[in-house]
Amino acid sequence: MSRRDVFVSYSRPDADPTVELVSHLETHGIECWYAGRDVPAGADWPGEIVNAIAVARVMVLVFSTSANNSAQVRREVMLAMDKGVRVVPFRIADVVPSASLEYFLSGQQWIDAYPPPLAPHCARLCAQLDAILASGARPEQRPEPPAPAVDPRSVRVAPHLWLESANIRRLEGELAQYIGPIAKWKVDRAAADAANVDALLLRLGSEIESETERRKFISGCRQWLHPGG
């Protein structure tokens, strides 16, 4: 079994239970990939995470209050769902998922891993992962419909919003400075249903954890981004 088969998503405050969980899984023979150990020194951290999720067959989400409030965890879950990767939430505290996470995790089979000790809960997770990994390939992604021919100078990204292609690419670059390569996916999804430029920027800004950086991103983009290009 490849270490790349199981991606473990977690919030940094949960590093200790995550290390314990991975130890249980790998003792059982289920190798895992998680950023705290498997991103090489000096590597592009966001890029390594995106690449690891892209080739994973299943994501184990170490779910807690910290994970529930983490924009980074939310991005990883969204990317996993977009790539057709099965997500198994491993809930180490009695926490109700936020609305944004509930949208993606509804219908998933949760494992409640509390109260301690963690070991018996890990045994149940091992059994579930064994079944998933034995089932073969991960779920197929739904094919994207073919894109219609468009004026290369501008793209209608929502019913009332037109943006030049160059502005879309620039938005991706600006957002990538804060959240990494996943910015392209975020801009594509947000632009598809934003009613206007302000709504688009507010939605993209919500992906940035720092309030100061969020305001900087929104105000900076407003200076050059206008409806209709």
Q: What is the Cα 182 distance to its own chain's centre?
A: 8
pLDDT in tens, 14-58: 999 999 999 999 999 999 999 999 999 888 888 899 999 999 999
- On whether both 127 and 162 belong to a single domain, the answer is no
Q: How confident is the model at residue 25, as a pLDDT?
A: 95
- On whether both 23 and 130 belong to a single domain, the answer is yes
Mean pLDDT of the chain: 84
Instruction: Answer yes or no: is 53 within a domain.
Output: yes
Distance CA 90, CA 62 (A): 5
Q: How confident is the model at residue 206, as a pLDDT?
A: 85
Instruction: Answer yes or no: is 14 within a domain.
Output: yes
Give the model's confidence band at 130: pLDDT under 50 very low, under 70 low, under 90 confident, else very high: very high
Q: How confident is the model at residue 33, as a pLDDT?
A: 96
- On whether both 119 and 71 belong to a single domain, the answer is yes
Give the model's confidence band at 161: pLDDT under 50 very low, under 70 low, under 90 confident, else very high: low
Instruction: Answer yes or no: is 148 within a domain.
Output: no
Where would I find the H helices in 83-225? Answer: 99-105, 119-134, 165-179, 183-193, 197-205, 211-222
- On whether both 126 and 187 belong to a single domain, the answer is no
Could you tell me what percent of the chain has a pLDDT over 70?
A: 86
- On whether both 128 and 158 belong to a single domain, the answer is no
Asked whether residue 154 carries a pLDDT value surpassing 50, the answer given is: no
- On whether both 167 and 204 belong to a single domain, the answer is yes
Q: How confident is the model at residue 145, as a pLDDT?
A: 43
Q: How confident is the model at residue 150, as a pLDDT?
A: 44
Distance CA 140, CA 83 (A): 9
Instruction: Answer yes or no: is 229 within a domain.
Output: no
- Domain range for 113 is 3-134
Bridge partners (DSSP) of residue 90 are 62, 111
- On whether both 163 and 112 belong to a single domain, the answer is no
Give the model's confidence band at 141: pLDDT under 50 very low, under 70 low, under 90 confident, else very high: very low
Could you tell me what percent of the chain has a pLDDT over 90?
A: 44
Count how many domains the chain has. Answer: 2
137: nearest Cα among 76, 77, 82, 58: 58
Give the model's confidence band at 149: pLDDT under 50 very low, under 70 low, under 90 confident, else very high: very low
Mean pLDDT of the 81-105 span: 90
- Higher-pLDDT residue of 155 and 163 is 163
